[in-house]
Structure 1
Amino acid sequence: MKFGKEFESQMVPEWQEVYINYNYLKSLLKDVQVCKLRKKQTDKQRSLKRRSTMYRAFSGLTHRNNNSPRCSTDIENQVIVVNYSPKQNGSPEGTYETMFLRSTEEGGEKELLFFSKLDDEFNKVNRFYMTKVEEVKKEATFLNKQMEALIAFRIKVNNNHGSEIESSAETNNLASHITASAAAVSASSPIGVRSSEDCKDLNEEKRMETKITAQTPLEILNHVKINTTSETPRSTIKSLLKVDRDKELNFRKHNLKSIEEQLKRVFIEFYQKLRLLKSYSFLNLTAMSKILKKYDKVTSRAASKAYLNMVDSSYIGNSDVVIRLGERVEATFIKHFSNSNRSNGMNILRLKAKRERHRTTFSLGWFTGCAIALIVALIVIIHARNIMRKEGLAQYMANMFPLYSLFGFIVLHMVMYAANLYFWRRYRVNYPFIFGYKQGTELGYREVFLLSAGLATLALASVVANLDMEMDDKTKAYSALTELLPLGLLTFLLLIAFCPFNIIYRSSRYFLLCCLFHCICAPLYKVTLPDFFLADQLTSQIQALRSIQFYICYYVWGDFKQRRNMCNRSDVYSIFTFIVATIPYWSRLFQCLRRFCEDRDSMHAYNGLKYFSTVAALLVRIAYSQRVGLGKSGQMWWMVALITSVIATIFNTFWDLVVDWGLLRRHSKNCWLRDKLILPHKSVYFAVMVLNILLRLAWLQTVLNFQVSFLHRETLIAIVASLEIIRRGIWNFFRLENEHLNNVGKYRAFNSVPLPFNYIENESRAK
């Protein structure tokens, strides 16, 4: 792999703009190379013209002075001079400027432009690196205080659960650990820059260690309280009822364990930051070296040595703060979180990237082939048995088709999500970071395709086994075993979803179930992006939720052996039709209200109003459909359904295009689009906007009561529901693209993990 592609593949996606623009610098070198080639061709032509005059010269009339003075070789070969400008106007770091000494030569303006852009790129990288290093140094100071509080908490817990002699020994032992921890994570200035700063740094560490050792655990805990966040229904209800929380520290082992786990996650995330900064420095320094070597090769000059000497003396080339902090974090983590087991501690800190497995690809191909074979078999059976003309077809479509369509909706949604994963990965959208997946546990598009193909195979096999249109003449019933196949398949899926064993991507299943539980319990949980993203997915699966409702009615109250049901005649079923269809929208509405109460952002209130308008339109459409089904007049209901649906569609479409996708910007660099785009072709965005509007109008089938002669009513309902799932799949890509670009604009590449302790000591008392 060429360095340019490797360099791009190893970038932190959110920091792409602050890496060296390697491809742009290469393009400038190509311009320099073209000028050099033109110059060589011109010199060659001139030499051919003068070759005839060379025959007139002979040695007797030619005289060369071999004793002429020569300039110094170093001065003649000097190409550039790098100057350093100190800090100005509050700039955190000075700037480097290169003076090109050969600008008067032919093509010199191209080389002058190259060094000018090279300076800009290097200064950009140097400033960004210094800013991020200052941030991690401040964060290391906070982590130092967290370790002080943790070890003091450990001492107190051991005192409460041990004897007096053991407690005093443990106190002395852990007090020395406090000093070691303080030295392990305290921030420091880079070594190798100035010796005076090193001495100052060491003195500061010694002073801090002395101060910490002088403090007893009780003194430390007097200025500390445990951070409590409203992330559970219990804490949320307490905050609403204004119940006073217990502010005293409970020195119990289970509290210590939870604090250790939380601080452990903080250390892991902090270590990942250090690794990314280390990689950022290494990649950019390597890119600088590569591009300068290319310059020397193209121009046959020797400028790289002088410039790289400047790079080595700069902050990014000379500072080793990140390396030192990384070593100290490793030492602290191994000592306090892995029982001094270095191998175990490093395996936890250095999260391994997920590896692609060949068996996944093989299984995907096998299940896909099985699904295609079953589809062909199903078509052949229908044609051979002439099922489309049998009397039992209408009964089958009214009872069995809604049961099996549930699996079709799930498979289609999974296929769309797998396609989203593929394109997110292709265009470097950092979806694992956005969703908050633990590194190495996120599913790739192959795994999701595999799950969808496996489910499609099971569902199609069940359909083929249950494709019976004839009733027994004696019993007037169908085979009970085959009639229970859909219920058995659904039960199997639920067992897999809630299976506690480590099979079939347990971490992903647990993550999905947690998000689903948060959606159901909204607004009792703090709203995160995975929660409201999943709730949005559920709003496109209304027909699937209705199928689950039909399952309960068909198998609990209905006579499934005769393939008939009395669900539509039940008032209870009709009431639950309204409730089930609006559950996802109510969940999103409550999530918006929760975010509005926490952030006081009016956009969340407007978003909640959007979902409320959708709920109103959906309820009116259901009421109109039920009146039409009962043969009652519904002209007024039709008008109300049309008006509410138009309002909800306009509101939702505007929100999709402007807020969720960030498009339709009048003063954007890209006409009516965003300033930043990921897809290379702008026409795709306009086509998708039109497609979104068209798919949003699928509700017209309900209001206008479209009827297609060659399609059964249940088939038409399934097609409309599938169109909504496809629209949601398209929405997913551009919604996450906009989120990713927002992260890129803020250089947000790390998850924020809350700290377990909060220091309440004021500055005056600290002094």
Structure 2
Amino acid sequence: MKFGKEFTAQMVPEWQEAYMDYIQLKSLLKEIQRFKQITKPPVTPDGLKRKHTLYRAFSGLTQRNNNPTGPSSLSNDIESHPIFVNSVNNGGSQSYQTTFLMSSDEGGEYELDYFRRLDEELNKVNKFYKAKVDEVMKEAAMLNKQMDALIAFRIKVEKPEGGFDSSHGPSSDESGDDKDDKENEIVNQKVREQKPKNLKAARPAPLEILSHVKMNNTLETPRSTIKGLLKHPVHAELNYTRENLRKVEDQLKPAFVEFYQKLRLLKNYSFLNTLAFSKIMKKYDKITSRKASKSYMKMVDNSYFGSSEEITKLMERVEATFIKHFSNSNRTDGMKILRPQAIRERHRITFSTGFLAGCSVALILALILIVRARNLMGKKEAILYMDNVFPLYSLFGFIVLHMITFAANIYFWRRYRVNYSFIFGFKQGSELGYLEVLLLSFGLAVLALTCVLLNLDMEVDSTTKDYGTYTELLPLILVLLVLFILFCPFNIMYRTSRFSFLRCVFHCICAPLYKVTLLDFFLADQFTSQVQALRSLEFYICYFGWGDFKQRLHNCEASNVYNTFLFIVALIPYWSRLLQCLRRLFEEKDPMQGYNGIKYFLTIVAVSLRTAYSLDKGMGWKSLAWISSVIAAMVSTYWDLVIDWGLLQRQSKNRWLRDKLLIHNKSIYFGAMVLNVLLRFAWMQTVLGLKVSFLHTKSLVAIVASLEIIRRGMWNFFRLENEHLNNVGKFRAFKSVPLPFNYDEDEDKDE
């Protein structure tokens, strides 16, 4: 792999603009190379000059004297040092400037432009690195104070009369052993006893720290939300119990892991940029036949990001602290947590995914051939089948289609380096790849299609005068199997991802009682495109609970309770999103959340009126459904394109798009906008009552629902692309981890 591609692949996506622009500098070198090739003097035919020079160099006669004093010594010195590099102090910040000493040469203006651009990149990298180091040093001081409180808290819980271990926190140099700990405790105790009362200590005595500390209420629960509304104090008094100690340790542990990851990325940032400057200068020397890389790299090595050792030392101290206090002094276990292994692609997953995909295609072809060969849809019993059985299996079709589109999203997010794992807040190493999602989706597809083939009877049994009990129960058994796997507490079938999904679903249901994260409202948006699937679940309950599934008969649509729940089920996702918007409006004071809430309110009105029209085909309902649906669709389309996707910007350098795009082919964005508008108006089928002669009404409803799922899959990619670019613009590459303790001075600052 060429260095340019490898350099780009190893960048922190959110810091991409802060790295050295290797591609731009390489293009400047290509301009210099083209000029050299155009102005290169012709080579003499006999080549005598070259041979003569070669023989002289080989004989050793040309450079016998190491300190030349002849008239050509000055020109030789300039040739060996074509640049002069120096640092300039501008208002406390150090910058670097390079003077090109051979600008009078032909084509020197190209090289002048190259070194000017090179200095800009060096100063940019140096400034960014220094700013990030300053940030992590402040965080280290904060974590050090948290460790002070943790160790004092631990002493209070485990050994109320014990001493104190001073070798802790990110600022400590060594971890020490048990014997040193006891000696330190004795020394600290003696120092405290002998210290004059009028002498103010720079650092409070170990157990005295706890008098200045309170517990942060970082756990987001409905109870904490209600307390917040009632103006209940956020910080609680310390309660010295082992349960609270465990909670504190569980909160500090991920804080250290996240902090260590930041240090690792900063160290890698320094290494990659140093390597990039070395590579580009070697290319310059090769193209121009000069010897400038040594002088310039000396300046790079002396720069802050090239010579600073703060990050390396801080990493060592964090490792020592974490291993001692969070992994029981077991270095192997501690480093496994600090440096989680990346997920490796497994061949068995690839094979299994391909195998199940092939089985799914084969089952679909078999289903089509059986239906065509037996002319099943031409029989009168087919209407009964489409009214009763088809809605049961269409549920799995909606789920599988949504999972396939999400797998495609993951594939393209990875291809275009969208850091979806960070944006969603997934634990490193626990996120599913597109192959894993495809494996689950094709596995479910195989089970569902097998059940369809087993339950494809159109005629009742001549003996029992009903359909087979076990075959008719297959869709219900499959639903129960999916729910069992989803809620299974054992470590099978990606338990971490399953529980994360269930937790987000619970947050969506309980909105606005939980703090709204991006993953929560992103999942709620997915459910707004699965209204028909939710209605299918309602049909399951009615069909198997009160219907006669042996005769494929039901009276659901004639029930007022069922029709009432048709409204409620369709509105639940939009109502959840509305409450999430109100929660964010209350917390963030952002008026855009209020406008977003209005959008969902309009959608709720439109869905209600369309549902009412589908139940009561009156002209009044039709007019109201038309008006509300047009307004809701127009508002939602504008919000999709302008707010969620960040497109339709007239002043952008990419006309009608945005300034930064991940996909180079701009026509894809325009095509996506047009397609989004068309799919947004798929509801016209329900309002206009469009019918296709060769399609059953249930089939048409399923097709429209599938189009909405496809639209949501397309929306997912551009929505997260826009979120990723916003993070890149603010260099946000790390999530903030809540800390357990709050010091009095921190509380004063907040006030």
User: What TM-score, normalized by structure 2, do the two folds share?
Assistant: 0.91
The correspondence of residues 38-53 of structure 1 with structure 2, limited to 5 A, is: 38-40=38-40, 42-44=41-43
State the 1:212 CA deviation: 8.0
**Which residue identity is paired with 2:94?**
G
Q: Secondary structure at the match of 2:274?
A: helix
Q: Secondary structure at the match of 2:236?
A: coil
- Once the two structures are superposed, residues 550-569 of structure 1 have per-residue CA deviations (whole angstroms, 9 ceiling, x without a partner) of 00000011111100111011
Q: Secondary structure at the match of 2:398?
A: helix
State the 1:43 CA deviation: 3.9
State the 1:635 CA deviation: 0.9
- Pair 1:419-2:408 in alignment: yes
Give the one of 720, 723, 727 matched to 1:739.
723
- Pair 1:518-2:507 in alignment: yes
State the 1:242 CA deviation: 4.3
State the 1:762 CA deviation: 7.5
User: 1:78 corresponds to which residue?
Assistant: 81
State the 1:473 CA deviation: 3.3
The correspondence of residues 665-684 of structure 1 with structure 2, limited to 5 A, is: 665-684=649-668
State the 1:113 CA deviation: 1.3
Residues 422 and 735, structure 2, Cα contact 8 Å, conserved in 1: yes
User: 1:34 corresponds to which residue?
Assistant: 34
Relative to 1, partners in 2 of residues 1:644 and 1:145: Cα closer, same or farther, differing over 3 Å? same
- Pair 1:117-2:117 in alignment: yes
- Once the two structures are superposed, residues 615-652 of structure 1 have per-residue CA deviations (whole angstroms, 9 ceiling, x without a partner) of 00100111111012xxxxx1111111111111101110
User: 1:544 corresponds to which residue?
Assistant: 533
User: 2:2 corresponds to which residue?
Assistant: 2
Separation in 2, partners of 1:87, 1:217: 43
User: 1:128 corresponds to which residue?
Assistant: 128
User: 1:723 corresponds to which residue?
Assistant: 707
Residues 170 and 321, structure 2, Cα contact 8 Å, conserved in 1: no
Separation in 1, partners of 2:482, 2:415: 31
Count of residues in correspondence between the two structures: 707
Separation in 2, partners of 1:348, 1:277: 19
Separation in 1, partners of 2:154, 2:5: 49
State the 1:705 CA deviation: 0.4
Q: Secondary structure at the match of 1:111?
A: helix
| Structure 1 moving runs of 4+ over 6 Å | 45-48, 210-214, 762-765
Separation in 1, partners of 2:145, 2:636: 48
Separation in 1, partners of 2:748, 2:132: 29
**Which residue identity is paired with 1:550?**
F
**Which residue identity is paired with 2:3?**
F
Gap regions ≥5 residues in structure 2: 51-67, 175-198
Larger displacement relative to structure 2 (216-225 or 269-278) = 216-225
Separation in 2, partners of 1:671, 1:113: 30
- Once the two structures are superposed, residues 35-92 of structure 1 have per-residue CA deviations (whole angstroms, 9 ceiling, x without a partner) of 222232x3437999x99xxxxxxxxxxxxxx99643244344220001211023xxx6
State the 1:755 CA deviation: 1.0
**Which residue identity is paired with 1:71?**
S
User: 1:155 corresponds to which residue?
Assistant: 155
Separation in 2, partners of 1:747, 1:143: 22
Relative to 1, partners in 2 of residues 1:367 and 1:389: Cα closer, same or farther, differing over 3 Å? same
Q: Secondary structure at the match of 2:550?
A: helix
- Once the two structures are superposed, residues 546-586 of structure 1 have per-residue CA deviations (whole angstroms, 9 ceiling, x without a partner) of 00000000001111110011101111101111100100000
- Pair 1:396-2:395 in alignment: no
Separation in 1, partners of 2:9, 2:550: 58
Q: Secondary structure at the match of 2:85?
A: strand
User: 2:101 corresponds to which residue?
Assistant: 101
- Pair 1:687-2:671 in alignment: yes
Residues 100 and 115, structure 1, Cα contact 8 Å, conserved in 2: yes
The correspondence of residues 464-483 of structure 1 with structure 2, limited to 5 A, is: 464-483=453-472
Separation in 2, partners of 1:293, 1:99: 18
Separation in 2, partners of 1:45, 1:615: 84
Q: Secondary structure at the match of 1:181?
A: coil
Separation in 2, partners of 1:67, 1:746: 57
Separation in 2, partners of 1:568, 1:242: 48
Separation in 1, partners of 2:69, 2:111: 34
State the 1:739 CA deviation: 0.1
- Pair 1:283-2:272 in alignment: yes
The correspondence of residues 139-218 of structure 1 with structure 2, limited to 5 A, is: 139-159=139-159, 167-168=160-161, 171-172=162-163, 175-176=164-165, 178-181=166-169, 183-184=171-172, 215-218=204-207
Larger displacement relative to structure 2 (466-475 or 506-515) = 466-475
Separation in 2, partners of 1:46, 1:611: 80
- Coordinate RMSD, CA, aligned: 2.2
Separation in 2, partners of 1:212, 1:494: 61
Larger displacement relative to structure 2 (245-254 or 285-294) = 245-254
Residues 179 and 213, structure 1, Cα contact 8 Å, conserved in 2: no
User: 1:328 corresponds to which residue?
Assistant: 317
Relative to 1, partners in 2 of residues 1:216 and 1:689: Cα closer, same or farther, differing over 3 Å? same
Residues 103 and 111, structure 2, Cα contact 8 Å, conserved in 1: yes
Residues 395 and 563, structure 1, Cα contact 8 Å, conserved in 2: yes
Q: Secondary structure at the match of 1:86?
A: strand
Residues 129 and 316, structure 1, Cα contact 8 Å, conserved in 2: yes
Q: Secondary structure at the match of 1:82?
A: strand
Separation in 1, partners of 2:369, 2:503: 43
The correspondence of residues 303-452 of structure 1 with structure 2, limited to 5 A, is: 303-452=292-441
Relative to 1, partners in 2 of residues 1:597 and 1:67: Cα closer, same or farther, differing over 3 Å? closer
State the 1:230 CA deviation: 6.3
Relative to 1, partners in 2 of residues 1:22 and 1:243: Cα closer, same or farther, differing over 3 Å? closer
State the 1:106 CA deviation: 1.4
**Which residue identity is paired with 1:180?**
H
Relative to 1, partners in 2 of residues 1:677 and 1:751: Cα closer, same or farther, differing over 3 Å? same
Relative to 1, partners in 2 of residues 1:185 and 1:710: Cα closer, same or farther, differing over 3 Å? farther
User: 1:656 corresponds to which residue?
Assistant: 640
Residues 126 and 316, structure 1, Cα contact 8 Å, conserved in 2: yes
User: 2:237 corresponds to which residue?
Assistant: 248
Larger displacement relative to structure 2 (221-230 or 694-703) = 221-230
- Once the two structures are superposed, residues 377-396 of structure 1 have per-residue CA deviations (whole angstroms, 9 ceiling, x without a partner) of 11121122221211210000
Give the one of 567, 579, 584 matched to 1:578.
567
Separation in 2, partners of 1:507, 1:345: 21
Q: Secondary structure at the match of 1:523?
A: coil
Separation in 2, partners of 1:366, 1:306: 58
Residues 145 and 169, structure 2, Cα contact 8 Å, conserved in 1: no
State the 1:709 CA deviation: 0.5
Larger displacement relative to structure 2 (678-687 or 68-77) = 68-77
Larger displacement relative to structure 2 (239-248 or 411-420) = 239-248
Separation in 2, partners of 1:514, 1:748: 25
Separation in 1, partners of 2:655, 2:134: 39
User: 2:680 corresponds to which residue?
Assistant: 696
State the 1:245 CA deviation: 7.0
Residues 215 and 235, structure 2, Cα contact 8 Å, conserved in 1: no
Residues 520 and 587, structure 1, Cα contact 8 Å, conserved in 2: yes
User: 2:550 corresponds to which residue?
Assistant: 561
Q: Secondary structure at the match of 2:97?
A: strand
